[in-house]
Structure 1
Amino acid sequence: MMKGVHFLVTLALLALATSLASAYDPSPLQDFCVAINNTNSAVGFNVTLVNVDKLPGLNTLGISLARLDFAPYGLNPPHTHPRGTEILVVVEGTLYVGFVTSNPNKLFTKVLNKGDVFVFPIGLIHFQFNIGKTNTLAFAGFSSQNPGVITIANAVFGSTPPINPDVLIKAFQVDKNVIDYLQKQF
Structure 2
Amino acid sequence: MSQFVNLIIISALISFFNVAVAFWPAPLQDFCVADPTSKARGNGELACKNPALVQANDFFFSGLLSPGNTTNPYGASVIPVTVATLPGLNTLGISLARSLQVGFVTSNPNYNHFNKTLQVGDVFVVPVGLVHYQFNAGSENTVVIAALNSESPGIIAFPNSIFGAKPDIGSDYLAKTFQLDKCIVEELLAKF
Name the CA distance, whole Å, in 2 between partners of 1:113 and 1:84.
21
CA RMSD of aligned residues (A): 1.5
Does residue 95 of the first structure (1) align with residue 100 of the second (2)?
yes
1:115 corresponds to which letter in structure 2?
G
Name the CA distance, whole Å, in 2 between partners of 1:99 and 1:138.
17
Asked which structure has the greater RCO (Cα within 8 Å, sep 6+), the reply is: 1
Q: 1:177 aligns with which of 178, 183, 188?
A: 183
1:172 corresponds to which letter in structure 2?
F
* 1:93 positional shift: 2.4
How many equivalent pairs are there? 104
Q: Which has the larger strand fraction?
A: 1
Partner of 2:127: 121
Name the CA distance, whole Å, in 2 between partners of 1:84 and 1:112.
18
Superposition pairs of residues 1-186 of structure 1, within 5 angstroms = 85-102=90-107, 103-186=109-192
* 1:105 positional shift: 0.7
Name the CA distance, whole Å, in 2 between partners of 1:87 and 1:149.
15
User: Do the aligned residues in 2 keep the contact of 1:84 with 1:147 (CA within 8 Å)?
Assistant: no
What do the CA deviations read for 1:86-128 (whole angstroms, capped 9, x no partner)? 1111111211111000121110010101111111111111111
SS at structure 2 position matched to 1:85:
strand
Name the CA distance, whole Å, in 2 between partners of 1:84 and 1:167.
34
Q: TM-score, normalised by structure 2?
A: 0.52
* 1:147 positional shift: 1.3
Partner of 1:21: none
1:143 corresponds to which letter in structure 2?
N
Structure 2: runs of 5 or more not aligned:
1-87
User: Do the aligned residues in 2 keep the contact of 1:84 with 1:144 (CA within 8 Å)?
Assistant: no
* 1:84 positional shift: 6.5
Structure 1: runs of 5 or more not aligned:
1-82
User: Do the aligned residues in 1 keep the contact of 2:89 with 2:126 (CA within 8 Å)?
Assistant: no
Name the CA distance, whole Å, in 1 between partners of 2:135 and 2:148.
19
Q: Which runs of 4+ in 1 moved over 6 A?
A: none
Q: Percent identity?
A: 42
Q: TM-score, normalised by structure 1?
A: 0.53
User: Do the aligned residues in 2 keep the contact of 1:84 with 1:122 (CA within 8 Å)?
Assistant: yes
